[in-house]
Amino acid sequence: MAMIYTELFADKIDERFTSEAVSQKIVNNDYSFVGAKTVKITSINTVDNRDYNRNTGYGNADILQNSIQELTLTKDRAFKMLLDKMDEDETKIKAGEVLARQLRERVIPEIEKYRFETILKSCDTNSQTVTGLTASNAYAKFLEAQEKLNDEDVPQNRIAYVTPEFLTKLKKDDNFIKASDIGQNIAINGLVGMVDGVPIVRVTKKWMEAKTGTPATTKKYACLVGHNSATVAPVKLAEYRVVTDSENYSGTLFLGRFYYDCFVLNNKAKGLVAIEA
């Protein structure tokens, strides 16, 4: 799109609405990718207990085995933008705001969407989903998701992400309002902080979907509950440069490169549950 010139530009830019980064609470950086593109994660099995025989002792020894999960970074992304020197002079575009806007509207949303999609795909693949959500059973479905995590011995310091629609259903659910102290607060002031001991984070519905199956179809989700130990989300490189003395351009050049990925660990995949919308 060409630059628009007029006789006078207003000082204030009409900025677009954007969603903030929220996924950091359900991911971790427990594994270092410094000096490597791939990290190999080892899982070691256990063996069955058996009765001790006083005549033959312990019996035959079972061989310990290990399995390897390779985490290879794949998302090497970049951008390049030019703000011509005369465009900067004759419009209200400010060089200092260009990079921040790019990060806010393009980089952060891309990483967030990719993380949620990776996690939601894992939930679908590992049968860690809850179905049958209606306008009146949001609280029951949330408790069902909690039960699935409890059955897998997932630690209690969990986090939940909900779409605005799911949050509305939860607020209107009579069972939730009657059963929960927070529900009583909702009746008073409309606030949601925790449900069943789990912090609730509202997330845009654009990020709560994933392509699953063959052929791939987009499946939408209303809620994601899990423990952050299940998901590794490294950002190995986040490099952003502002070049004002380029030999090839008269103006300010903005360069960015971000190298990231997201992985659900095999032995902890049951630590994530999604409620289908």
CATH number of the domain where residue 84 is located? 3.90.1690
Task: Give the DSSP letter of residue 28.
Answer: B
Measured CA to CA in angstroms, residue 142 lies from 99, 176, 211 at distances of 39, 10, 23
Domain assignment present for residue 207? The answer is yes
Domain assignment present for residue 175? The answer is yes
Closest CA to 121 of 29, 212, 44: 212
Helix spans in 163-249 (H): 164-172, 174-179, 181-189
Given a contact cutoff of 8 angstroms between Cβ atoms, the answer to whether 195 and 142 are in contact is: yes
The count of domains in the chain is 1
* CA 92 to mean position of chain CA atoms: 35
Given a contact cutoff of 8 angstroms between Cβ atoms, the answer to whether 125 and 270 are in contact is: no
Site of tokens 């939601």: 120
Task: List per-residue pLDDT tens for the chain, 277 residues long.
Answer: 455 444 554 555 566 666 788 999 999 999 988 888 999 999 999 999 999 999 999 999 999 999 999 999 999 999 999 998 887 776 777 877 888 899 999 999 999 999 999 999 999 999 999 999 999 999 999 999 999 999 999 999 999 999 999 999 998 888 887 666 555 555 434 445 788 889 899 999 999 999 988 888 999 999 999 999 999 999 999 999 999 888 888 889 999 999 999 999 999 999 999 999 9
Domain assignment present for residue 13? The answer is no
Given a contact cutoff of 8 angstroms between Cβ atoms, the answer to whether 220 and 205 are in contact is: yes
Domain assignment present for residue 8? The answer is no
Cα four-point dihedral sign 222, 227, 230, 235: positive
Domain assignment present for residue 16? The answer is no
Domain assignment present for residue 7? The answer is no
Domain assignment present for residue 154? The answer is yes
Domain assignment present for residue 164? The answer is yes
Residue 160 pLDDT: 94
Alpha-carbon distance 114 to 129, whole Å? 19
At position 227, the amino acid (one-letter code) is H
> Angle at which helices 164-172 and 138-151 pack, to 10 degrees?
110
Alpha-carbon distance 131 to 277, whole Å? 8
Given a contact cutoff of 8 angstroms between Cβ atoms, the answer to whether 72 and 51 are in contact is: no
Residue 98's domain comprises 23-53+61-276
Residue 20 pLDDT: 81
Given a contact cutoff of 8 angstroms between Cβ atoms, the answer to whether 259 and 237 are in contact is: yes
HSE-up of residue 216 (Cα within 13 Å, Cβ side): 6
Closest CA to 181 of 164, 172, 165, 194: 194
Site of tokens 């085995």: 65
